[in-house]
Amino acid sequence: MNNPEFAFKQNMVEFYDTTLRDGSQAEGVAFSVEDKLIIIEALDKLGIRYIEGGYPGSNPKDIEFFKRAKEMTLESAKVVPFGSTRYPSYDPDEDPNLSALLETGARTVTIFGKSWQLHATDVLRVSAEENLEIIESSVNYLVDNGREVIYDAEHFFDGYSDDSEYAIETLHAASAGGANCIVLCDTNGGRLPLEIQEGVKAAISALNLPIGIHAHNDAGMGAANSVLAVQAGANHIQGTFNGYGERCGNANLASIIPTIQLKLGLECISDEQMQELTSVSRLISELANLPHDERQPYVGRSAFAHKGGLHTDAIRKNRLTYEHIEPEKVGNTQRILVSDQAGRGTIMKKIEKEYPNYDKNSPQVLELFDRLKKAESDGYQFEAAEASFELLTHRVFNGYESFFEHLGFRVIIEKFTDLTMRSEATVKVTTPDGTTTHTAADGHGPVNALDTALRKALELYYPSLQKVRLIDYKVRVLDTKAGTGSKVRVLIEASDGKRSWRTVGVSENIISASYEALIDSFEYKLHKDKDSIK
């Protein structure tokens, strides 16, 4: 029988990613074939052992995907098709689902079967005994055709709670069929950690096979249940990146992987691969066309962000006081947030690398502190607008001079009888040679028109601005009681293809706030390129 400590002694925990199948069942998530191929390449480089690509028996897109995935050269990952045990009305060699798995050409396949007697009788409409035969014959057919079989015991923990003996019998059926690994699934995502632990230990005691865990997150326990399963002896973990999945999602591999390796001390991927964790998580968010959850453990921007003055003062002395790991180990960074809760210690931590010869009582620090407090009372926030904060700091410490002077702007918005609209902006700036330049441009909207007009005035002097593109734009109403007269805060994110940055503007006029953030965005790009600007 397997030893519950086997995984720890042998360091054999392996990860199985199901983002492309289970994750794509999440509301609002749909990956193209091209998206899937990009994700496979990233996961392979990260050191993921198995990547579940989809359900080839369900749709033509997944059939095409497996054809193209077969042509990929991967370092170590295996691309796995997913399916079910045979239909009760078919013999294994006649079953279209099993045939579709074989037709992918994949050497490893995953199938799920019923562990809960309720599902056998009420869903499949077969007897408990017939369900056992379906499991064994399905696995055996795939094994006889030269496949490594991972068997997902669907609803195992619910079935174990209802009838533990029968749930274990279903695992024996899969083992008798020749399964290489048996994965215990908390399909409804509602089981608690000690229930998971009991079920895992029972399966390990009953079988001499690797045991895995596949947890959903409906009770918010997905990652915790997965980690506890490993502590109970499981050595195969299934999950999705960013926790994508149906309903409340799946266990989040972006949390589980570093917890297993950095907390339990199991070396599952290399240190270099671990440092790519944050970038892979963000890549998958981007391809899913969803905003990245910045409050995710380990890989969110807020995971190592410090705002309170006491916290930031403490981490200046010893970062372990408020950080459970070094963020660099997972490819993340420490961030110091400047806010109305911040003291001078927070500001010092924020600027100490660039201005190491100042202390809390330096006149420049006092001035910056006062200007930040005044700005935040006016509605500015610099937590997510670090480029605007950096420009403000340079104005205080270095007497920073702008690369251009903006003298004014005007925007006209016209609506025509055919319901089309046109925005025209004119801007007036003083360029580096002292000339006052007055330019105009049309745009799809007022911000686009201002952006285009400003570029016309500046790109002759600063060609690098041609590379700058707006990639995100957010508006926040600051006082809802003031109605349409409220101040708004505009946050702009821009990129030059190599780096991205955020700037902020505040005004009762949304166009004015946008223009202010836009000017800071251009200024920041020029500031970063100053050494190459003559």
pLDDT tens-digit series, residues 417-444: 777 888 999 999 998 778 898 999 999 8
Task: Examine the fold and report which residue of 238, 257, 287 is the final residue of a domain before the chain moves on.
Answer: 287
Q: Are 133 and 268 part of one and the same domain?
A: yes
Name which of 155, 212, 303 is nearest 17 in CA terms. 212
Q: Are residues 189 and 87 in the same domain?
A: yes
Same domain? For 345 and 421 the reply is no
Q: How many domains does the chain have?
A: 3
Spatial distance between the Cα atoms of 172 and 205, rounded to a whole number of angstroms: 12
Per-residue pLDDT tens over the stretch 177-218: 999 999 999 999 999 999 999 999 999 999 999 999 999 999
Q: What was the pLDDT predicted at 451?
A: 94
**Could you tell me the pLDDT band of residue 287, with boundaries at 50, 70 and 90?**
confident
**Rg (Cα) of the chain, in Å, rounded?**
29
Is residue 293 included in any domain, yes or no?
no
For the segment 342-396, what is each residue's pLDDT rounded down to a tens digit?
A: 566 667 767 877 788 888 788 888 888 888 888 888 888 786 788 999 999 888 8
Q: Per-residue confidence at 286, pLDDT binned at 50, 70, 90?
A: confident
Q: Which amino acid is at 483?
A: G
What per-residue confidence (pLDDT) applies to 75?
A: 93
Token readout for 324 is 């459970």
Q: Where are the beta strands (DSSP E) in 231-330?
A: 236-239, 305-306
The answer on 281 and 158 residing in a single domain is yes
Q: What CATH number corresponds to the domain at position 278?
A: 3.20.20.70
pLDDT at 6: 38
Q: Which of 264, 261, 243, 262 is nearest to 252 (CA)?
A: 243
Show which of 242, 261, 287 is a domain's final residue.
287
Q: Note whether residue 142 is domain-resident.
A: yes
Is 219 found in the same domain as 351?
Answer: no
Q: Are both 230 and 325 inside the same structural domain?
A: no
Question: Which CATH number belongs to the domain containing residue 436 in this structure?
Answer: 3.30.160.270
Q: What are the C-alpha distances in Å from 218 to residues 18, 93, 227, 375?
A: 17, 37, 16, 42
Residue 275's pLDDT band (cuts 50, 70, 90): very high
Are 251 and 334 in the same domain?
no
Question: Quick one: 320 exposed, middle or buried, by C-beta within 10 A (0-12, 13-18, 19+)?
Answer: exposed
pLDDT bin (cut points 50, 70, 90) of residue 531 is low
Q: Torsion-angle region of residue 483: left (phi > 0), alpha (psi -120 to 50) or beta?
A: left
Are residues 419 and 273 both part of a single domain? no
User: Do 253 and 335 share a domain, yes or no?
Assistant: no
Say yes or no: 219 and 325 in one domain.
Answer: no
Residue 409 lies in a domain: yes
pLDDT at 2 exceeding the cut of 50: no
| Greatest distance between any 2 Cα atoms in the chain | 89
Would residue 389 count as lying in a domain?
A: no
Whether pTM exceeds 0.85: no
Cβ neighbours of 440 (radius 10 Å): 15
pLDDT at 236 over 90: yes
**Who contacts 359 (Cβ-Cβ below 8 Å, separation ≥6)?**
348, 365
| Res 104: pLDDT | 94
Count the Cβ atoms, other than its own, within 10 Å of residue 70: 11
Among candidate residues 259, 287, 315, the one where a domain is terminated: 287
Dist CA 94 CA 324 (whole Å): 54
Residue 8 has pLDDT above 50, yes or no: no
Q: What is the pLDDT of residue 176?
A: 98
For residue 455, give its domain range: 405-532
Quote the pLDDT of residue 308: 62
pLDDT for res 63 = 84
d(CA 407, CA 416): 30
At residue 522, the pLDDT reads 95
**pLDDT at position 468:** 94
Res. 3 pLDDT band, cuts 50 70 90? very low
pLDDT at res. 313: 67
In a domain? residue 100: yes
Of the listed ranges 40-44, 59-63, 243-247, 453-457, the one predicted with least confidence: 59-63
Mean of all residue pLDDT scores within the chain: 89
What whole-number distance in Å separates Cα of residue 65 and Cα of residue 308?
A: 48
Classify residue 120: in a domain, yes or no. Answer: yes
Above 70 in pLDDT, residue 309?
no
* Same domain membership, residue 458 and residue 340: no
How far apart are alpha carbons 425 and 530 in whole angstroms? 28
Confidence of residue 339 (pLDDT cuts 50, 70, 90): low
Give the DSSP letter of residue 503. E
Those residues whose C-beta lies under 8 Å from the C-beta of residue 265, and which sit 6 or more positions away, are: none
pLDDT at 85 over 50: yes
Whether residues 215 and 320 fall in one domain: no
Q: Using alpha carbons, select from 43, 54, 63 the residue that is nearest to residue 269.
A: 43
Task: Please say if the pLDDT value at position 23 is more than 60.
Answer: yes
Express each pLDDT in 113-126 by its tens digit. Answer: 999 999 999 999 99
**Residue 376 within a domain:** no
4 pLDDT band, cuts 50/70/90, is: very low
Tell whether 180 is covered by a domain: yes
